[in-house]
Amino acid sequence: MTDTVISSASKEIVIGFDRPFVMIGERINPTGRKLLAEEMKNGDFSRVEADALSQVAAGAHMLDVNAGIPLADEPALLCEVIRLVQSVTDVPLSIDSSIIEALEAGIAAYEGKPLINSVTGELEVMERVLPLVAKSGAAVVAISNDETGISEDPDVRFEVAKRIVSVANDFGIPTADVIVDPLVMPIGAMGNAGQQVFRLVRRLREELGVNTTCGASNVSFGLPNRHAITGTFLAMAVGAGMTSAIMNPLHSEVKSAVMGADVLMGNDQNCANWISIHRDPDATPSGRGGRRNRRRGPTQETV
Amino acid sequence: MTDTVISSASKEIVIGFDRPFVMIGERINPTGRKLLAEEMKNGDFSRVEADALSQVAAGAHMLDVNAGIPLADEPALLCEVIRLVQSVTDVPLSIDSSIIEALEAGIAAYEGKPLINSVTGELEVMERVLPLVAKSGAAVVAISNDETGISEDPDVRFEVAKRIVSVANDFGIPTADVIVDPLVMPIGAMGNAGQQVFRLVRRLREELGVNTTCGASNVSFGLPNRHAITGTFLAMAVGAGMTSAIMNPLHSEVKSAVMGADVLMGNDQNCANWISIHRDPDATPSGRGGRRNRRRGPTQETV
């Protein structure tokens, strides 16, 4: 039983075993989104605001925020994004950058206890990021690669994760504040990518006792009907013990698979969230605003 | 590595570990289908034929056939259904009855090596069904309940399954010809039904070395958007090691989840089946008839 608590100024989210899966909205990220990158660079954050609101309305429990734009002032941009998103939503944030100065500035601008995304098993990266995490009392995403790259052997990736947790502990960060990302590769390019992750997630949970997360969309890269693959992957990952993911809750196949997996793991008490979103498709998973004027019964087989 | 071979006169299907999941079409069953029951009783098998063809077109690798209609001559009806279905399709069948005379008649009418559905762990049932299975060289579905009913403890259900396999072996039936049904309860009524099955399937595979199947639709009974729950359940069951299910391949969410799970387990070589059905929505999963005139690229994120 490992609970990772992340908070905003007014709201706590707990990522943990035997709890509903935590959906971390992936959209506020200019990587591969030319128009968004251009707008952000020009100080136009209207799309960031819209993406924050729409993801929360779709059920995101947290939002990942990234401002990595080439040749832009990433620390300043990231602060602006954090302040804006915290002014329009109350969900906790994952502060996403590979630049230490951006993480520092982002943490300073953030109200609450954020999730820092991310640290790797590279010694130099751990020595820069983990003191910052420890000092700010944040939680951190630990990506299971090191100086030698991403191993294709899930047991090697397990050892890398174990080492990051151990070093984090040395810096005074409790194990519960380290969320391991086992690294999800595109299944179209590597046929055993799914099995690797399922095996690794199970070991991380059972042997290392840590929560897990991943960038889910990557698994379906290059495949047709990719949201169905991403959703199916997430359901299977939940079955293997994964407790959160950075994902797109606006894709109905993905959201439905995650919420269905919560039902099937017994983590949606009395199927209340599942029933709630099907009473009112606009309701958020917590059931807020669940009007009952569109109640639907189960499908009946009659012929 | 346990391979269960089922055959028709001209076609073999292998249910096994690390192979594509075997979809057994559930539709040819008058239980809860008043109109079909009425028609079958009156000698009208047009809907049976249509159900056979549509399920195979949708990708069913096998078909379950059941003729259990109160006050009807079940052995005679079952024979008619089997002969008809074998005349219009080449997929192997699962002969489904709780009446020993119907199973006997069905086996006699069947061309190939059928799957007999089912035997339970009740001593009397085993002593009637297993000699028939042994004599005909068929495979059999073993349902993990006994005289005491269905245990809520998956470890008890494991012991029941183990006993059926042992008794089957005593009758000369190889373990590979026993496919265990762990019994799937409605998740809306029993919140731990999913976890129970996943745990049991894993043990059945790892410790008993048997293939598994289930009546998948039952899991979502009474819930809204139930096909999404059934599909998500099946994907998670595949992740836990399940190798076949009696299910409805006409429900796109269910079929998509199973085929996606094959991709994610690395059992759809080069994602060929997945890509094939998305090139041509009418193509069967084996890729037969996969025209390439509707090729679609992956979804691209552009803004």
**Res. A1 pLDDT band, cuts 50 70 90:** confident
Q: Determine whether B246 is exposed, middle or buried from the number of CB atoms within 10 Å of its CB (0-12, 13-18, 19+).
A: buried
How far the first Cα of chain B sits from its last, in Å, is 47
Mean pLDDT confidence for A235-260: 98
**Res. A289 pLDDT band, cuts 50 70 90:** very low
Q: What is the Cβ-side half-sphere exposure of residue A81, based on CA atoms within 13 angstroms?
A: 38
CA dihedral for B230, B234, B240, B243, sign (positive or negative): positive
Q: Name residues whose C-beta falls within 8 Å of residue B242's C-beta, 6 or more positions apart in sequence.
A: B21, B201, B212, B213, B214, B234
Chain A's closest residue to B264, CA to CA, is: A194
pLDDT 10s digits, A159-195:
999 999 999 999 999 999 999 999 999 999 999 999 9
E strands within A182-251?
A: 211-212, 244-247
Amino acid at position B163, single letter: R
Cβ-defined contact of A266 to B192 (cutoff 8 Å): yes
Chain B's closest residue to A221, CA to CA, is: B298
Contacts of B270 in chain A (CB under 8 A): 191
Helices (H), B68-145: 74-88, 100-109, 123-136
Tell me the two tokens of residue B270.
């080069």
User: Which range of residues forms the domain containing residue B215?
Assistant: 3-302
pLDDT 10s digits, A61-105:
999 999 999 999 999 999 999 999 999 999 999 999 999 999 999
Chain A's closest residue to B51, CA to CA, is: A303
CB A99 within 8 A of CB A75: yes
Q: What is the DSSP string of A242-258?
A: --EEEE-TTSHHHHHHH
For the ranges A230-239, B20-29, B282-291, which has the lowest average pLDDT?
A: B282-291
A32, A226, A299 member nearest B299 (Cβ) = A226
E strands within A121-243?
A: 139-143, 178-181, 211-212
Helices (H), A243-296: 252-264, 272-279
Cβ-defined contact of A271 to B223 (cutoff 8 Å): yes
SS percent in chain A: helix, strand, coil, step 5: 45, 15, 40
Residue that is written with structure tokens 């949201």 in the block: A227
- Report how far apart, in Å, the C-alpha atoms of B290 and of each of A7, A260, B50, B59, B295 are: 51, 31, 22, 13, 10
Cβ-defined contact of B223 to A192 (cutoff 8 Å): no
Cβ-defined contact of A236 to B233 (cutoff 8 Å): no
Cβ-defined contact of A236 to B239 (cutoff 8 Å): yes
Q: What is the largest CA-CA distance in chain A?
A: 66
- Report how far apart, in Å, the C-alpha atoms of B148 and of each of A153, B151, B187, B197, B205 are: 46, 8, 22, 19, 24
Cβ-defined contact of B301 to A32 (cutoff 8 Å): yes
CA–CA min distance B152, chain A (Å): 15
pLDDT 10s digits, B236-254:
999 999 999 999 999 999 9
Mean pLDDT confidence for A139-152: 94
Q: Name residues whose C-beta falls within 8 Å of residue A266's C-beta, 6 or more positions apart in sequence.
A: A18, B187, B191, B192, B193, B194, B195
A188, A198, A256 member nearest B228 (Cβ) = A256
Q: What percentage of chain B has pLDDT greater than the value 90? A: 91
**A278, pLDDT greater than 80:** yes
Say how far apart CA A255 and CA A287 lie, in whole Å: 15
Tell me the two tokens of residue A65.
């925020």
Say how far apart CA B100 and CA B221 lie, in whole Å: 28
CA–CA min distance B176, chain A (Å): 24
CATH number at residue A247: 3.20.20.20
Mutation target vs A (from B225, B250, B294; most A CBs, 10 A cutoff): B225
Q: Name residues whose C-beta falls within 8 Å of residue A42's C-beta, 6 or more positions apart in sequence.
A: none
**Res. B77 pLDDT band, cuts 50 70 90:** very high
- Report how far apart, in Å, the C-alpha atoms of B241 and of each of A269, B15, B184, B236 are: 26, 12, 15, 9
CB B247 within 8 A of CB B24: yes
Inter-chain Cβ pairs, chain A and chain B, closer than 8 A: 157
Say how far apart CA B34 and CA B19 lie, in whole Å: 37
Asked whether the whole model's pTM tops 0.80, one would answer yes
Contacts of B303 in chain A (CB under 8 A): 33-36, 47
Contacts of A223 in chain B (CB under 8 A): 263, 271, 274-275, 298
E strands within A135-294?
A: 139-143, 178-181, 211-212, 244-247
Cβ-defined contact of B263 to A236 (cutoff 8 Å): no
Contacts of B236 in chain A (CB under 8 A): 235-236, 238-239, 261, 264
A231, A232, A299 member nearest B226 (Cβ) = A299
Q: Name residues whose C-beta falls within 8 Å of residue B124's C-beta, 6 or more positions apart in sequence.
A: none
ipTM of the complex: 0.91
A219, A225, A269 member nearest B278 (Cβ) = A225
Cβ-defined contact of A228 to B266 (cutoff 8 Å): no
A32, A232, A270 member nearest B261 (Cβ) = A232
Instruction: Tell me how crowded residue A120 is: count the other CB atoms within 10 A of its CB.
Output: 22
Contacts of B188 in chain A (CB under 8 A): 271
Q: What angle do CA B77, B78, B82 make, to 5 degrees?
A: 120
Contacts of B47 in chain A (CB under 8 A): 303
Say how far apart CA A14 and CA A46 lie, in whole Å: 29
Cβ-defined contact of A257 to B235 (cutoff 8 Å): yes
Q: Name residues whose C-beta falls within 8 Å of residue A247's C-beta, 6 or more positions apart in sequence.
A: A23, A24, A25, A26, A215, A216, A217, A230, A234, A254, A258
Mapped onto helix, strand or coil, the DSSP state of residue B293 is coil
- Report the mean per-residue pLDDT for chain A: 93
Q: Which helix (H) or strand (E) holds B48?
A: helix B46-57
Count of structural domains within chain A: 1
Chain A's closest residue to B191, CA to CA, is: A266
Q: Name residues whose C-beta falls within 8 Å of residue B90's C-beta, 6 or more positions apart in sequence.
A: B8, B9, B10, B11
CB B63 within 8 A of CB B26: no
Mutation target vs A (from B35, B236, B255; most A CBs, 10 A cutoff): B236
**B293, pLDDT greater than 60:** no
Contacts of A266 in chain B (CB under 8 A): 187, 191-195
Cβ-defined contact of A232 to B260 (cutoff 8 Å): yes
Q: What is the Cβ-side half-sphere exposure of residue A20, based on CA atoms within 13 angstroms?
A: 22
